[in-house]
Chains A and B, each alone.
Chain A
Amino acid sequence: MLLLILKRIGLGLITLFIVSLITFVGVEVLPGDACTTYLEREAYGAALDACIKRLGLDVPAYERYLDWASNVIRGDFGYSLSGEMPINEVLGPRVKNSLVLASVSILIGIPLAIVLGIITALWRDKLPDIMISTITIFSMTIPEFISATLLILIVAIWLGWLPGIVIIPSDATFYELLSNIILPVVAISMIMTAHMARMVRSSVIQVMASDYVQMAILKGVPYWKMVFRHVLPNALLPAINVVALTIAWLLGGVVVTEVVFNYPGLGRLVIESISNRDLPVVQALAIILASIYVGINLIADLMTLMLNPRLKSLQIRK
Chain B
Amino acid sequence: MNEIIESVKNLSIGFNSQKGKQISILRNVSTNIKKGETVGIVGESGSGKSTLALAMMGYIKQGLFPLKGECIFKSEDLLKMSSRQLEKIRGRKIAMIPQNAGQALTPNLKIGYQIDEALKLHTNLNKTERDKKISELLNKVRLPSPETMAFRYPHELSGGQQQRVAVAMALAGKPDLLLLDEPTTGLDVTTQAHVLELLRFIAKDTGTSMIYVSHDLGAIAQVSDRIVVMYAGEIVLEGPARKILKEPIHPYTYGLLKSIPKLSLAGLPASMPGSQPQPGSINEGCSFYDRCNLATDNCKKNSPDLEHIKELDTNVRCFNYKELINQNNNLQTSITKKSNNSEANEVLKLKDVSISYAKQKFFDQLLNKISDQNPTVKDINIDIKKGETIALVGESGSGKSTILKSIAGLLKTKDGQIKFENDRILSSDLKMRNPNDLRAIQLIFQNPDESLNPNHTVEQILSQPLKLYFNLSGEELKKNIIGLLKKVRLGEFYMSRYPRQLSGGEKQRVAVARAFAAKPDIILCDEVTSALDVSVQAAVLNLLQQLKEDLGTTYVFVSHDLAVVRAISDRVAVLYQGRLCEIGPSQNVYKFPSHPYTEVLLGAVLEPDPDIKPKLVAEDIVEEKPPEKGCSFQGRCPRKIGDICNSEVPPWQIGENGNAIRCHINIKELASLQQ
Contact = CB atoms under 8 A, between A and B. Distances in A.
Contacts of A233: 108
Contact of B91 (A220, A230, A234, A310): A220
A66 interface: no
Contacts of A220: 86-92, 118, 121-122, 173
A212 interface: yes
B156 A313 contact: yes
A234 B108 contact: yes
Chain A interface size, as a band, is 20 to 34
Interface stretch (A31-39, A221-229, A270-278, A288-296): A221-229
Interface stretch (B97-105, B134-142, B461-469): B97-105
A177 to B, nearest CB: 40
Contacts of A214: 59, 98, 104
Nearest to B96: A218
A54 interface: no
Contacts of A313: 153, 155-156
A313 B92 CA distance: 33
Nearest to B94: A218
B65 to A, nearest CB: 14
A309 B153 contact: yes
B104 A212 contact: yes
Interface string B132-171: 0000000000000000000001011000000000100100
B92 A234 contact: no
Interface string A213-251: 111111111110000011001100100000000000000
Interface in A146-168: none
A310 B153 contact: yes
B83 A223 contact: yes
Contacts of B91: 218-221
Interface residues of B, number: 34
A209 interface: yes
A221 B117 contact: yes
Contacts of A234: 106-108
**Ordered nearest first, which 6 A-B pairs have the shortest CB separation?**
A220-B91, A220-B90, A211-B103, A215-B104, A218-B96, A211-B104
A70 interface: no
A218 B57 CA distance: 8
B105 A218 contact: no
Interface in A199-219: 209-219
Given A211-B100, A212-B104, A218 B117 contact: no
Interface in A283-318: 307-310, 313
A209 B62 CA distance: 9
Interface string A176-200: 0000000000000000000000000
A224 to B, nearest CB: 11
Interface string A55-92: 00000000000000000000000000000000000000
A230 B106 contact: yes
A309 B104 contact: no
B122 A310 contact: no
A210 B91 CA distance: 18
B169 A219 contact: yes
A219 B93 CA distance: 10
